[in-house]
Structure 1
Amino acid sequence: MTLVQMHSRSPGTPTVPRTVADAMDSAGPQVWDAMTVEVALSVMAAARTAHLVVCDEDGQCTGLVTRARLTAVRDGSGYTDRVRLRDVSDDGGPFASPLTTVAEAEHAMRHRRLGALPVVDEHGNVLGVVALSR
């Protein structure tokens, strides 16, 4: 998905910043933070996705993990088959609000070198994911 899209408009038309709610994709697979890395990689392969939204036992989004991150953990020297997603994901975000502008989300993702960012509501429920195009 491309975050920056050019639209022609007539001169004098006021611009309204697009929000991530306009640009987000569905959240895709959501998994519990107690899932093991190996099972998460299997879920990713089956779903043909490069990321998973991670939720806690209450169903609140705690972050997002990527195939690259999980593969690096699995290939690391300290890896065992008991490592869980809660052990490798970044607790507490980053997240985007549905009111975040596309430009703000793109800046945050490029600054933090993220390929995707979960969009959550005020209660921590995942609404979707906004991603940079490759």
Structure 2
Amino acid sequence: MTLIQTQLRPDDANPVHRTVAEVMDAAGPQVCDDMSVEVALAVMAAARTVRLVVCDQDGQCTGLVSHTELAAVRDSSDYTDRVRLRDILGDHGSFTSPVTTMAEAEDAMRTRQLGALPVVDEQGSALGILALSR
């Protein structure tokens, strides 16, 4: 995985021109989309995180799952231990580039009602996560 180094900017830097790479969080744990919901919840607990980056078997990011989403699936009446992360991923097309401006990313996230968005490189590998402050 390629690491992005962020550079600190003065507080008066124009937020319209700031890029996603400047403010994104580390990608954190990445799991395969064939993982079960129970195992994913255990990984989250061990890593002390509230979301996981989900990748396919080629290592390309396919989305994010949150603890809230996984707990809701596990607690539903339709849940079985055969449910995999790929079965519950929502909007697979929601990604952003590290060179996207914050203004563009925030607008897209608010329009699609996303609290977090994976940041991927040109090959689809996860570089980080952009999360909106509520």
What range describes the TM-score normalised by the shorter chain of this pair? Answer: 0.7 to 0.9
1:106-125 matched pairs, under 5 angstroms: 106-125=106-125
Alignment deviations for residues 7-60 of structure 1 (CA, whole Å, 9 cap, x no partner): 336xxxx88701101111110000000000011011111111111000000000
Over the aligned positions, Cα root-mean-square deviation in angstroms equals 2.1
Give the letter aligned to residue 46 of structure 1. A
Give the letter aligned to residue 22 of structure 2. D
1:1-134 matched pairs, under 5 angstroms: 7-8=11-12, 17-90=17-90, 92-134=92-134
- TM-score, normalised with respect to structure 1: 0.85
* Whole-Å separation in 2 of the counterparts to 1:66 and 1:36: 14
Q: Percent identity?
A: 68
Segments of 5+ residues of structure 1 without an aligned counterpart are 1-5
Segments of 5+ residues of structure 2 without an aligned counterpart are 1-9
- The size of the alignment, in residue pairs, is 126
* Whole-Å separation in 2 of the counterparts to 1:15 and 1:103: 7
Greater C-alpha Rg: 1
- TM-score, normalised with respect to structure 2: 0.85
SS of residue paired to 1:39: helix
SS of residue paired to 2:82: coil
